[in-house]
Amino acid sequence: MEALPPDQQPINLIGGGLAGSLMAVYLAQKGFRVNVYERRADMRQQLLDGGRSINLALSERGIHALREVGLEEEIMEIAIPMYGRMMHAVDGSLTFQAYSKDQQTCIYSVSRAELNARMMNLSESLKLVDFFFEQRAEDIDFESGEVYLKDLATNRSYKAPGRVSIACDGAFSAVRYAMQKTPRFNLEQAYLDHGYKELSIPAGPDNRFQLEPNALHIWPRGSFMMIALPNLDGTFTCTLFLPFEGEWGFDALKTPDRVHLFFETFFPDALPLMPHLLDDFFNNPTGSLVTIRCYPWAKKDRILLMGDASHAIVPFFGQGMNAGFEDCSILNKYIDQHAPDWGKVFDEFQQDRKPNAEAIADMALENFIEMRDTVADPEFLLRKKVMHHLARHIPEFQSRYEWVSFSTIPYAEAYRRGQINDQIIDTLLDGISSLEEIDLQQAETLVKEMFAL
């Protein structure tokens, strides 16, 4: 077959997960032909067959990208607003912490599979996108840009047509692995000592939610925690984050009695709501949690890594997918400016995004400590109270959580503003030990001075 001229060749997207499917929409809306090579079978079929529901927190950065491609409304139909965190103490008492000062701004719980399916449907409807399932990328020729694939159904290996490839093949990216073998490629991967397991709370009678549906539930227990997000069918998907080792680590929870005792001891209010606990616990896999930092993300005008392939982060800020969607939006901006000069598109994209990827990776790790330790440390609790107090009373003051989740200012800037917030709180708390002693006048002056307002 005769090769197509370069400007008519398809762009290869490796991985049709969250970032890959959205990027396919962006590219097709610009008139590019796109071939998406996805290792798994078509997950839309599995959706029809029913399966475990896994959900994600979607916030402004992700919504902004969905808005740009015209998918916001459709996704909002399947999204459940969560206005704050509902903290569950061991004695069963509940404390609600709103995410924003107006108590209205929220994040959303969305089914991962539904979201992925709707992006696939939209991209296919644009006629320029072809999905090829059960096709695994195995290697790259960095000179020619060609991708080597294996058809998993037939075991046939082949080269994909096209000279420009965007790799969205996730945290354990095969394309990144190929780049690792090229000179001067930096890579750091760091695993947490904690893993995670997905569990479930079924719907109650008449498909009613058994917990408050408009909140993200957290059971913080010091060195471990559980969270739960609502699904449209009245169920909750819970995620237990636990060390692999130790008295109450995954390695020590090997028998039904031990798991039951663990939940009875630490999650007594959740246990009666989890009739399938033992099945879930022993049948669902234990996942690991990794932070990936690498650079460069691009090889000339041939290959680009994006999404988790370039910057996988731990899930404690609920930002991995949101960051991947923001990648798509920012890449789209550079395509507008510089395509078909893909070398320039990729280079400006990576220079723009790398510092922001670093910032959200660090903030996600910091949030891990914050989420699991909130019950334990009185000084930390006081700082949190002061933060909420300032956010409520000083219009110009915003918490870092709000900058990250409810705005699209670059992550690195949100990080910087969070550090200024910390300095303000340090100054206000100097020599005092209770919220009542906070001088709001002084606080307002400090906010204005330090943010140069």
Residues that bind ligand FAD (CB under 6 A): 14-20, 37-40, 56-57, 136-137, 168-170, 174, 196, 239, 287, 307-309, 315, 318-322, 324
**Which of residues 22 and 438 has its CB atom nearest to ligand FAD in the complex?**
22
**Which of residues 114 and 169 has its CB atom nearest to ligand FAD in the complex?**
169
Per DSSP, 433 falls in state -
Buried b (16+ CB within 10 A) or exposed e, 259-274: beebbeebbeebeebb
Minimum CB separation from ligand FAD for residue 357, in Å? 11
Minimum CB separation from ligand FAD for residue 305, in Å? 9
Per DSSP, 52 falls in state -
Minimum CB separation from ligand FAD for residue 18, in Å? 4
- Return d(Cα 308, Cα 168) in angstroms, integer: 7
Minimum CB separation from ligand FAD for residue 327, in Å? 8
**Which of residues 137 and 387 has its CB atom nearest to ligand FAD in the complex?**
137
Residues sharing a CB contact under 8 Å with residue 351, sequence separation 6 or more, in sequence order: none
Count CB atoms within 10 A of the CB of residue 251. 12
**Which of residues 240 and 345 has its CB atom nearest to ligand FAD in the complex?**
240
Chain residue at closest Cβ approach to ligand FAD: 17
Burial of 47 (0-12, 13-18, 19+ CB in 10 A): middle
CA distance to 110, 111, 231, per residue, from 57 (Å): 6, 9, 11
DSSP states along 410-430 = -HHHHHHHHHHHHHHHHHHHT
Minimum CB separation from ligand FAD for residue 5, in Å? 26
Tell which residue, 142, 148, 138, 149, has the closest CA to residue 183.
142
**In which order are the strands placed within the sheet that holds 34-38?**
129-133, 34-38, 11-14, 164-167, 303-305, 298-299
Per DSSP, 3 falls in state P
**Which of residues 10 and 170 has its CB atom nearest to ligand FAD in the complex?**
170
Minimum CB separation from ligand FAD for residue 11, in Å? 15
**Which of residues 133 and 397 has its CB atom nearest to ligand FAD in the complex?**
133
Minimum CB separation from ligand FAD for residue 144, in Å? 18
- Return d(Cα 156, Cα 373) in angstroms, integer: 51
Find tokens 């999404």 and name the residue.
Answer: 307
Find tokens 């992550």 and name the residue.
Answer: 411
Minimum CB separation from ligand FAD for residue 107, in Å? 8
Minimum CB separation from ligand FAD for residue 412, in Å? 18
- Return d(Cα 111, Cα 55) in angstroms, integer: 4
Tell which residue, 10, 7, 22, has the closest CA to residue 306.
22
Q: Give just the sign of the alpha carbon dihedral 113, 116, 122, 125.
A: negative
Q: Is 55 helix (H, G, I), strand (E, B) or coil?
A: strand
How many Å separate Cα 65 from the centre of its chain? 14
Minimum CB separation from ligand FAD for residue 389, in Å? 27
**Which of residues 226 and 447 has its CB atom nearest to ligand FAD in the complex?**
226
Find tokens 């929409």 and name the residue.
Answer: 25
**Which of residues 22 and 335 has its CB atom nearest to ligand FAD in the complex?**
22
- Return d(Cα 58, Cα 63) in angstroms, integer: 7
**Which of residues 274 and 404 has its CB atom nearest to ligand FAD in the complex?**
404
**Which of residues 175 and 425 has its CB atom nearest to ligand FAD in the complex?**
175
